[in-house]
Amino acid sequence: MTTANDAGPDAGDDAVRDNPFLPGELALFLDRKGRAYLQTLTEGEEFHCHLGFIPHEEVIGQPVGGWYTTSRGHVLLGIRPTLGDYVRLMPRGPQVIYAKDLGNIVSMADIFPGATVVEAGLGSGALTTGLLRAVGPAGRVVSYEINGEVVAKAKSNVESVVSDTSRWSVKVGDIAEGIAEADVDRVVLDLPEPWRILDAAADALHTGGILLCFLPTVLQVHELVMALQDDGRYARIETAETMLRGWNVTRRSVRPAHRMVAHSGFITTAVRCVPPGRQGYALNP
């Protein structure tokens, strides 16, 4: 399946510049109020909303970025969803990581093309999609999930936006009981008690590897950071959160959006180090 990032236009070729919607891919329709509707384009099906309907055949083969008229005469913009759009609108079970945090998780954990990343829990698979994109075709992502019931929906979500999932594997079980992978570059944890995973993560990470934990409350962050400081195998322990505020820009006024998702969670990172012994020093007293 093609998404906005996979199918960029080729400036040298008119046919490619038209950039048509393909059968089976995701389309995002936006009405004049900015409301978004996600559809998988399938021959013989119709997109219905309160503004009327559009047969998918009228969209397949037509340009991404084109204007599509519903049966009731309303005009919608049709584009490919970004990963952030998909995460916002996808079917979900457990709480997902939103786009505002996805980008900073990738940069603060320094997830690079070719990296081997272990994550837990899989949840709805939102974070997994971002990790798979960041590690690229030469990388690998292994997702641990304690609740086997969420795996099918997560797989379907991930496969909707990542065309090649051959470098991804899912393991059902408690990651605290151990990480089978060795020499791992990054461990990314989005689960309630990451301090229970410090042994498993330290065993799996090579020295210099990075552990990143996403937590919604300050009490959890405090417990985690105290455990990291006491552990001795982690250094450069840092915590941050992301606040992203939209702005409304019109010809006559430029002002901040009335509403913003200020808090979603805290990101704590730590580097797996050689235990300091006599030479080392406390980076986080």
Ligand X SMILES: C[S@@+](CC[C@H](N)C(=O)[O-])C[C@H]1O[C@@H](n2cnc3c(N)ncnc32)[C@H](O)[C@@H]1O
Which residues of the chain form contacts with ligand X (CB under 6 A)? 94-97, 120-121, 123-127, 144-147, 150, 174-176, 190-191
CA distance 50 to 214: 38
Least Å from the CB of residue 47 to ligand X: 26
For 209-233, b/e burial (b = at least 16 CB within 10 A) is bbbbbbbeeeebbeebbebbbebeb
Q: Which residue is nearest to ligand X (CB)?
A: 121
Q: How far apart are CA 21 and CA 76, in angstroms?
A: 15
Minimum CB distance to ligand X, residue 165 (Å):
15
Shortest Cβ distance from residue 264 to ligand X (Å)? 11
**Beta carbon nearer to ligand X, 26 or 54:** 26
CA distance 67 to 270: 47
User: For residues 144 and 234, which CB has a smaller minimum distance to ligand X in the complex?
Assistant: 144
Q: Which is nearer to ligand X, 207 or 217 (CB)?
A: 217
Q: Give alpha helix (H) positions in 92-181.
A: 99-108, 126-135, 151-161
Least distance to ligand X, CB of residue 279, Å: 34
Question: 214 vs 234, which CB is nearer to ligand X?
Answer: 214
Letter string b/e over residues 160-186, b meaning 16 or more CB atoms within 10 A of that residue's CB: bbbeeeebbebbeeebbeebebeebbb
**Distance of closest approach, residue 265 Cβ to ligand X, in angstroms:** 9
CB 100 → ligand X: shortest distance, Å? 13
| Separation of alpha carbons 70 and 31, rounded Å | 11
Pick 146 or 283: Cβ nearer ligand X:
146
> Could you please report the per-residue DSSP string of 205-267?
EEEEEEEEEEESSHHHHHHHHHHHHHHSSEEEEEEEE-----EEE-SS-EEE-S-----S-EE
Nearest to ligand X of 64, 267 (CB atom): 267
Q: Minimum distance from CB of 188 to ligand X (Å)?
A: 8
**Which residues touch 72 (CB under 8 Å, ≥6 apart)?**
51, 52
Task: Output 54 or 176, the one with its CB closest to ligand X.
Answer: 176
Q: Report the alpha-carbon distance of residue 64 to residue 207 in Å, rounded.
A: 46
